Amino acid sequence: MKKAALALAVSCASFAAIPAFAQDSNSAVSGNYQPSQAVGSGNWFIGANVGRTNGSDTGGFGSNASGFNFLHGEQGRRTGYGVLGGYRWKAGQDLGLGLEAGYTDLGNYRVKNIFNDNDVNQRKSRNALRGWMVGINGKLNLVPQWYISAHGGYFRANDNSNNYNNSVGQDIGFSNGGRPGRGSWYAGIGTGWDINEHFGVGVTYDYFHANAGKVRNNATGDVSTGLKRSTGIVSLAGEYRF
């Protein structure tokens, strides 16, 4: 994890240095990305997304490998959302590169009762995968308004700490949470349309890899490694640039 954090720090420093070199070589106002601004200039931004999630307790994207069902997420997941903020420089005529930080909550998560395969009733709370993220992002404007975007970085997942109960509220003797080293990663791609230089809308796909949430048998102390909770989300997204 220390190596991953160091790599992210080096990447962030590299991205921060790119606009300075670009500004020296070309400060003219032109290009498809933020066309009224010069290369090397930048903007603070905030963004948000909301969409449908899908995932797998084995760490892949859904137990059904044949495709993504927008109306029903695998494992009972439903609606997720996220918020992001950061700063992006105009690194080239058509390219923006930046740093970001934010939070995501990927909806309800349900596990299966291992004895009869029925949904486990977690009663007061249904702990979805959620957590904080920090990373880098890029935005390429192929024309003055149409763009392709990508981002990725470090993801700190919640530990999903709770006890499980069956459908009639009986304690079935399993719990999870408290696992150290919950840091992992996220990545995503998207495309959309800039209505103007301050506001854009689009469609994104993001994947959050997480190992948090191992299930423990309270009676024996045995730990199951099957519950990874890695989750993908297809979203509508919006961004405002200051």
Query: Low-confidence residues of the chain, pLDDT below 50?
Result: 1-4, 6-8, 10-26, 57-74, 76, 109-110, 113-114, 122-125
Measured from the Cβ of residue 52, the count of other Cβ atoms closer than 10 Å reads: 19
Query: Phi and psi for 144 in degrees, rounded to 5?
Result: -55, -20
Mind listing the pLDDT tens digit for each residue in 19-47?
444 444 445 667 899 999 999 999 999 99
Predicted TM-score (pTM) above 0.75: no
**Under 8 Å CB-to-CB from 206, ≥6 apart: which residues?**
49, 82, 104, 186, 187, 188, 232, 233, 235
Task: Say how far apart CA 161 and CA 232 lie, in whole Å.
Answer: 21
Q: Is 88 exposed, middle or buried (0-12, 13-18, 19+ CB in 10 A)?
A: buried
Residue with tokens 């700190």: 156
Give the pair of three-digit tokens for residue 100. 């970001």
Measured from the Cβ of residue 223, the count of other Cβ atoms closer than 10 Å reads: 11
Mind listing the pLDDT tens digit for each residue in 92-107?
999 999 999 999 988 7
Query: Phi and psi for 217 in degrees, rounded to 5?
Result: -80, 115
Task: Say how far apart CA 193 and CA 160 lie, in whole Å.
Answer: 37
